[in-house]
Structure 1
Amino acid sequence: MDRLQGMRVFVRVAESGGFAGAARALGMSPAAVTRAVAALETAIGARLFIRTTRSVKLTDAGGRYLEDCRRILSEIAEAEAAAAGSTATPTGVLTLTAPVHFGRLYVLPVVTDYLARHPAVSIRALFLDRIVNMMEEGIDVGVRIGHLADSGLSAIRVGSVRRVVCAAPSYLERHGVPETPRDLREHAVIGTSNSGALPEWRFGLERRIAVAVHSRLTCNTVDAALAAALDGWGIVRLLSYQAASAVAEGRLRILLSDDEEAPVPIHVVSPEGRRAPAKTRAFVDLAVAHLRADPRVNPVG
């Protein structure tokens, strides 16, 4: 009898409290169960049970070995389920979440590609500028921008973005260009609901600088803050992808680039990891491939 089957028999004997109960549960003869446990004891060189005419009890070694066997058998079952899921046809409804602006620009193309590849799946896309509890809200996959808390989620890093300070040329012509982060105290600042909640903006890599800012205008969406900056009202701090189009067109200018913080990571996350159903695993694989191949998300050099 192979070692794994011996482990399964041993675990069942321990859980059943006897050889006869384990034999009934496994559909084996009591003699076959006894031989399997004896063979396992011989193979590992330790006695696993103390047998009397009335009871079967684990030895100290058997108790330790039981926990190891349960862990090993669980990991094997998980690996087999993952392998089966990877070859199964994706079906059902997939629910995903991502930040609003990032979702529209980068995740939606993944969604449409995925739907074309997997006609048996429907997608519910929730583009929200807040961190959702994926377990409580029934989310299968998420894209997170920022450093992850220890949440138990399976996470795959796909790239990074920068936090950039920018303003319209018309604003800079009227009010001048800030040369250092502390110069921002003398400028009109546009906040968003996220950045506006903070009393300071942080700069620098090795030498960290925190600058207190007062946002006379705070917007609850990035699009509104971006529009105000484009109108020349003030200086705004955005993630680089949010400002990329306006910067490329010359409608915004990035400021204080030498004082930027370290880039912010982007992850594709899932609560279930390797145990996820085929629909989720297929989307994660496609999203990772798309996002890692996009130089705006995963810049080279």
Structure 2
Amino acid sequence: MDRLDAMAVFVVVVETGSLAAAGRKLGHSPATVTRAVAMLEERLGERLLHRSTRALRLTERGERQAALYRGILSELAEADGADAAGDRITGRITLTAPELFGRSILMPVVESFLDEHPDIGLRMLLLNRVVSLVEEGVDAAVRLATLPVSGLIAVRLGEMRRLVCAAPHYLARAGLPQTPSDLGHHRCIGTEDGAEREQWHFIDRSSARERRLSTAIRPRIALNGAGAAIDAALRGHGICRVMAYQVTEHIEAGRLTTLLREFEPEPLPVHLLFHPIPRRNRALRAFVDHSTPRLRAAVKDVSDRLGLPADGSTNARPN
């Protein structure tokens, strides 16, 4: 095993969190993975990993080397792509994204990518849960969340607002909530696969210092997806909270009205998350290069269409 191969093995060890898992992912024996890490440590004269029976932890030098190795491998992947620019890129990649994001925003990008690369196959998992890239064999994921530290590469695509919405005919019957506490007198539509099942979080910006608010909701209807919650809101069953991209067309058409805009929480960051790209995975590199600018533009377009500032501010913020 040469030094570059050892670097690639070490990056996967960091990504998976164990020597055995790295071996399974790469098709190597645990002994081969151990030798690769030992080769790098011997060359550097320092330990890269703290080993114990329970877990592996990076040393301070290991953290620096992991970042350095990822950069080296990424640059080599780009160079390989440039050297073979006249060749058709082949391969197969697996992607995952939240269901409605995948259908409305990711799918057009995937279609243009496949048109540009007819020899690449693609599998897309549209699921409303966090998918483990390592355990489920996924190459790249779109995540709308603040990400924990990991061995994966995260490219920021922008931010997405969380909106409270209802149909005009519901509001004509039930009245317009002026503050989050007013939601206690309204029918709220819950989603069982979201982080805010029983409480909706807001920010009070009426004074110089922002104040976080939590409002308990008692959903009359609880559904297992944002799409179903939006359908219920359109039928006048109450107030829902969803991501801005999920209701853009309904708001533009006047079918839904946004509420409590001055109390909105911070927008969620949107990331494209993927493994450090090995030298030979030109298909994944091509997808990242193709999709990143297009997804950034699509995320920004949601804010532009709804008149939502990209920095997460609201028109009601005090001067």
* Interval of TM-score (by shorter of Structure 1 and Structure 2): 0.7 to 0.9
Aligned-partner Cα distance in 2 for 1:235–1:247: 14
Structure 1 residues 1-301: aligned runs within 5 Å: 66-67=45-46, 78=73, 81-87=76-82, 88=84, 89-195=88-194, 198-204=197-203, 206-273=210-277, 277-294=281-298, 295-297=300-302, 299=304, 301=310
Q: CA deviation at 1:199?
A: 2.1
- 1:231-261 per-residue CA deviation (whole Å, 9 max, x = no partner) reads 0010000001111111100010000000000
* Pair 1:76–1:284, CA change in 2 (3 A): closer
Q: Distance in 1 between matches of 2:225 and 2:254?
A: 22
Task: Give % identity.
Answer: 42
Task: Specify every segment of 5 or more residues in structure 1 that has no aligned partner in the other structure, as ranges.
Answer: 1-7, 9-62
- Which residue number in structure 2 is paired with residue 27 of structure 1? none
> 1:195 Cα shift?
3.5
Deviations 1:46-102 (A, max 9, x none): xxxxxxxxxxxxxxxxx795349xx59967863563234433453111110111111
Give the distance between the partners of 1:291 and 1:184, measured in 2 at CA: 34
TM-score (normalizing by structure 2): 0.68
**Deviations along 1:124-163, whole A, 9 cap, x unmatched?**
1111111100111111111111111223220001111111
- Structure 2 unaligned residues grouped into runs of 5+: 4-41, 47-60, 311-319
| AA in 2 matched with 1:214 | R
- Note if contact 1:154-1:273 (Cα within 8 Å) is conserved in structure 2: no
* TM-score normalised according to structure 1 size: 0.72
Structure possessing the higher radius of gyration over alpha carbons: 1
Are the counterparts in 2 of residues 158 and 298 from structure 1 also a CA contact under 8 Å? no
Alpha-carbon distance between aligned partners in 2 of 1:257 and 1:231, rounded to the nearest angstrom: 22
My pick for the range that moved more, 289-298 or 202-211, is 289-298
Are the aligned partners of 2:190 and 2:197 in contact in 1 as well (CA < 8 Å)? no
RMSD: 2.6
State the secondary structure of the residue aligned to 1:296: helix
| Contact kept? 1:95, 1:125, Cα under 8 Å | yes
2: CA distance between counterparts of 1:235 and 1:277?
46
Distance in structure 2 (CA, Å) of the matches to 1:99 and 1:228: 20
User: What amino acid is aligned across from residue 95 of structure 1 in structure 2?
Assistant: T
Distance (whole Å) between structure 2 residues aligned to residue 188 and residue 207 of structure 1:
25
SS of residue matched to 1:208: strand
